[in-house]
Structure 1
Amino acid sequence: MLKTTYQLLTLFLLLLIAASCSKSKGPLAIFNKLSPHDTYAQRLKDNGFDHTAMGSAWLLNATQIVTKPLNINIPYKETGYFADDKVSSTALRFDAKRGQKLHITITKKPATNFAIYADLFEETGSQVPKLAASADTIGAVLDHEVKQTGRYILRLQPELLRAGEYTLTITAGPSLGFPVSASGKPRIGSFWGDGRDEGGRKHEGIDIFAPKRTPAIAAANGTVTGVTVNTLGGNVVFMRPENEDYTLYYAHLDVQNVGTGQTVGTGDTIGLVGNTGNARTTPPHLHFGIYTSGGAIDPLAFVDRNAKQPLPVTASLKYLNATVRTNIKGSKLYNLPSVSALAVNTLDLHTALTVHAATDGWYKVTLPDGQNGYISSKNVGDTGAIRTFTLKAEQALYNAPDSVNAARKKFISSGEKVSLLAAYRNYLLVDVNGETGWIEAK
């Protein structure tokens, strides 16, 4: 009966949302172009689902999850599962540098059965992070050029009453092309901040070494704004990329091949690598800099070709969306999937955990009290029966390890046999004739 009711609710919700017009009629749509996530949220409201338990929980979860993200380092990859009988989402926080281009992909199983809304937020110091980019998996990839060095939060939230497995990959690469032709096998030999003039000043750029007269090329589409000669840089060229608020600086050129006001495309020859200016006694190289209205900034992230790929997921996927237990006393729960990270909890043997995703050799898990973190996949196992025992007195069976706030599912009679599956603090997770729940440890 319950299953039939759930199926009817699912069908009703999906038909009603699908029947709503493609353009949201809510108040947000009057002034803003809504993100895919906000469009879906508005449809829920338009159809009255914000007044239902599941609909209101979905809307509340969307706001709350970004206030308690888990930390990761990029590149990053995880495989997870969203269940259709739960209101679920995930939020991941990471550092990114100005000049990087974030590349975020999500693949799903089944591929077309449900949508996952991806929203990238920038932490601004206020309680509400700023939306930086958004997409849904009906589309494809989310690419975002980082305009400000700082911390970013990625929220993934599936539509209601849909289930499926997903694989998320986040990588960061350069937002500009490399400014020296690959024909010269260029290498970066001096970096931002290196000492110059016996410590009298700092290097405001990077030096890219290549054979003399190797083409120095446009790192983006743009316009040449200056072709001059100066004491430090020798023959120099300035160019402004399209739709950007900074200028590229090419120095020590042997030859300048462009003129002021000229439009160039990515890969066009700006000049030829040399050692003019104060580089007369050094091997040929291009001094490459980036200038903003506030002065020079480190250009490395804009052109760094050494983009790393995430480690593959090696933790078993059989525990996704499952309750497991620790199999080693003293297992650590970490705030990052790394043994060098901060351990936020030390767990007892047989502690119950819910697995949401797998990354590298780690599981992203939640404790029964709601604490999130990462645990080594080697430290968890199935929740098969540890032992069977007989109750000496009648006990209540709860849906969570909390006799004060949890719902009581039923009473278990004195003398009835139960199977112990896991534990948490002063509670035991047990199986009673095929029904699972929590009892107080007495």
Structure 2
Amino acid sequence: MSPAFPPCLPRPSHWGSPALPLLLLLLLGGCGLEEVILEPFRGATPHERYLEALERSGLQDSALALQWDRVAEGAFRYPVEPTLPFVEEGRFSAAEPTSLAYRFELRRGQRLHVMLTRRGSPSTGDAEMDSSGDPGRVFIELFRLRDPEGERSPLGRPLPVAWTDPPADSLSHEASTTATYLLRVQPELLLEGDFALEVRTGPSMAFPVEGHGTGHIQSRFGAPRDGGRRAHHGVDIFAPRGTPVLAAGPGVVTRVRETPVGGRVVWVRDSDRSLSRYYAHLDSQAVEEGTRVSPGDLLGTVGNTGNARTTPPHLHFGLYLRGEGAVDPWDFLHAPGTRPRSLQVDPDGFLTWARIRDLRTDFRMGPGGAPSPLQADPGAVRIVAGSGAWYRVRLPDGREGYTSADRLDPIPRETVPPPGVASRLSLETGEP
């Protein structure tokens, strides 16, 4: 589930609240204040409802439930920092409550896609189910960090912005602001089996020129115009004359005009996102004012009318947000072409123990990232997952990171602590 309303707007279900005048007044002071005021009005997430169910059942004080809650909170302190797109495979253990956290930046206009695939236990090869046919729940939640440099401050508590409603195992979220985000993935108690997690970004809008992409943009937002007297308030997408111009998103056509600057233009208002899309220099217009359009609907064709008559045919595409004006369309349209590397490490290493060879160079916050030197020998580390040629390891103090598979020395099973002991001892102390 992904809330349909931008973070700086109250949800309609609360518009009848007696506190609305105060909320609106505080909204004028900035989005940060709004988050503090409105957060208590949101409904409980499935993860929060699960904790409440444990309390009602009287299980909240059991050893496993206490550890489940602790690792959920520990995820906020010790996320890994992968580069997107990213694929990770790992194994959940019924004996070890676990929570996996990933920290990354999203830019406004990008759409995040998270897909979890469960493969059951190594012995069955299929997602295991109970007698009711339920494969068990995995809670997938996306948080925005409001104060990434001071997460223990009053504003620092991560804000839930999207989540799945199990048994759904996929999440999609359009970033309404550029910020640092944290993804938390946590299976319910006693769930076990192998999993694969894919996290990637993509555009939140359809590309407005048929058969083309951001590689056909030859003039970016902010480029100087008229000798530097003004800036370019959009992107220019070059294509042959007559190429179909398509609606980049839903909305209502508000203007179909011909102007000296834009030539033949079409404006589409998207009230849900509080923005307007501007299509200019069209050779022809195929819609009328008042028409409701969906992504991919024909609006007109590429041309060079208006002040573009001396340039090759192209579409000028602009985005205008209410209260802000023109914004860069790039991240709304760009589809990254990179693909994550498939798993190269041995899955039989998952949930085994090992030692890191070189404390200075072999521990990273993301697969292939810069070294994050360890100040002391952590001793045995738990291998919890893998990405590409890297194992994800958990240190006894709860920190997690990545080590190349060839830089780990396996530890014989008889010499390691029982499952969960190292992390449980660390989390019970409350030490970071």
TM over 0.5: yes
Partners of 1:257 and 1:215 lie apart in 2 by 10
Q: Does 1:314 align with 2:344?
A: yes
2:26 matched to which residue of 1?
none
Distance change >3 Å, CA 195–CA 32, structure 1 → 2:
closer
Q: Which has the higher helix share?
A: 2
Equivalence for 1:336: 366
Q: 1:214 to 1:184 in 2, by over 3 A?
A: farther
Bigger strand share: 1
2:274 paired residue number: 245
CA shift, 1:108, in A, is 1.1
Which residue, out of 252, 260, 275, partners 2:289? 260
How big is the shift at 1:328?
Answer: 5.7
Deviations 1:217-250 (A, max 9, x none): 1112220011223333222111023622111010
Deviation at 1:176, TM superposition (A): 1.1
| 1:230-289 deviations in Å (ceiling 9; x for gaps) | 333222111023622111010111222222211122222211111112211111000111
* Map of 2:46 onto structure 1: 36
| 1:273 is aligned to 2:295 | no
Mapping of residues 141-156 of structure 1, within 5 Å: 141-156=170-185
Aligned to 1:116: 138
Deviates more, 1:137-146 or 1:184-193: 184-193
- Separation in 1 of the partners of 2:286 and 2:233? 24
- Alignment-derived partner of residue 56 in structure 1: 66
Q: Is the 8 A contact 2:397 2:427 kept in 1?
A: no
Offset at residue 298 of structure 1 (A): 1.0
Q: Could you tell me the percent identity over the aligned residues?
A: 36
Matched, 1:83 2:105: no
Shift of 1:183: 8.1
Matched, 1:357 2:391: no
Of 318, 321, 335, the match for 1:305? 335
AA at the equivalent of 2:391: Y
Instruction: Tell me the equivalent position of 2:398.
Output: 370
Match runs of 1:160-175 below 5 Å = 160-175=189-204
Any stretches of 5+ residues in structure 2 without a counterpart?
A: 1-39, 121-126, 130-135, 148-154, 416-420
* Partner secondary structure for residue 344 of structure 2: coil
Aligned to 2:217: 188
Indicate conservation of the 8 Å contact 1:183/1:214, yes or no. Answer: no
- Structure exhibiting the larger radius of gyration computed from Cα positions: 1
Letter of the 1:300 partner, please give it. Answer: W
Q: Aligned match of 2:117 in 107, 110, 113?
A: 107
1:59 to partner: Cα distance: 2.4
Q: Would you say the 8 A contact 1:312–1:359 is kept in 2?
A: yes
Relative to structure 1, the CA distance from residue 272 to residue 324 in structure 2 (aligned partners, 3 Å threshold; closer, same or farther) is same
- Name the counterpart of 1:47: 57
Alignment partner of 1:226 out of 244, 255, 277: 255
Residues in 2 aligned to 1:405 and 1:178: alpha-carbon distance in whole angstroms: 48
Counterpart in the other structure of 1:13: none
Q: 1:112 to 1:201 in 2, by over 3 A?
A: farther
8 Å CA contact 2:97, 2:189 repeated in 1: yes
With over 3 angstroms needed to count, the CA separation of the structure-2 counterparts of 1:217 and 1:52, relative to structure 1, is same
| Structure 2 SS opposite 1:182 | coil
Matched positions, count: 364
Q: Counterparts of 1:304 and 1:78 in 2: how far apart (Å)?
A: 24
Q: Which has the higher contact order (CA 8 A, sep 6+)?
A: 2
Given the superposition, is the C-alpha separation of residues 206 and 319 from structure 1 closer, same or farther in structure 2, using an over 3 Å criterion?
Answer: same
In the alignment, is the contact (CA less than 8 A) between 1:107 and 1:166 conserved in 2?
A: yes
Cα contact 1:330–1:347 (8 A) shared by 2: no
Q: CA deviation at 1:153?
A: 0.7
Partner of 2:366, secondary structure, is coil
Aligned residue identity for 1:321: L
* Contact 2:361/2:373 (8 A) holds in 1: no
- Secondary structure at the residue paired with 2:362? strand
User: Counterpart of 1:9?
Assistant: none
The CA deviation string for residues 319-375 of structure 1, in whole angstroms up to 9 with x for no partner, is: 111111235675421122224x24232777x95321111011111112233332211
Q: 1:137 to 1:74 in 2, by over 3 A?
A: farther
Pick closer, same or farther for the CA change 1:324–1:43 going to 2, 3 Å: same
Q: 1:331 and 1:31, CA in 2 relative to 1: closer, same or farther beyond 3 A?
A: closer
Alignment of 1:394-413 (within 5 A): none
Whether contact under 8 Å (1:327, 1:381) holds in the other structure is yes
Instruction: Verify the 8 A CA contact 2:396 2:426 in the aligned structure 1.
Output: no
Q: Report if the CA contact (8 A) 2:356-2:362 is conserved.
A: no
3-state DSSP of counterpart to 1:69: coil
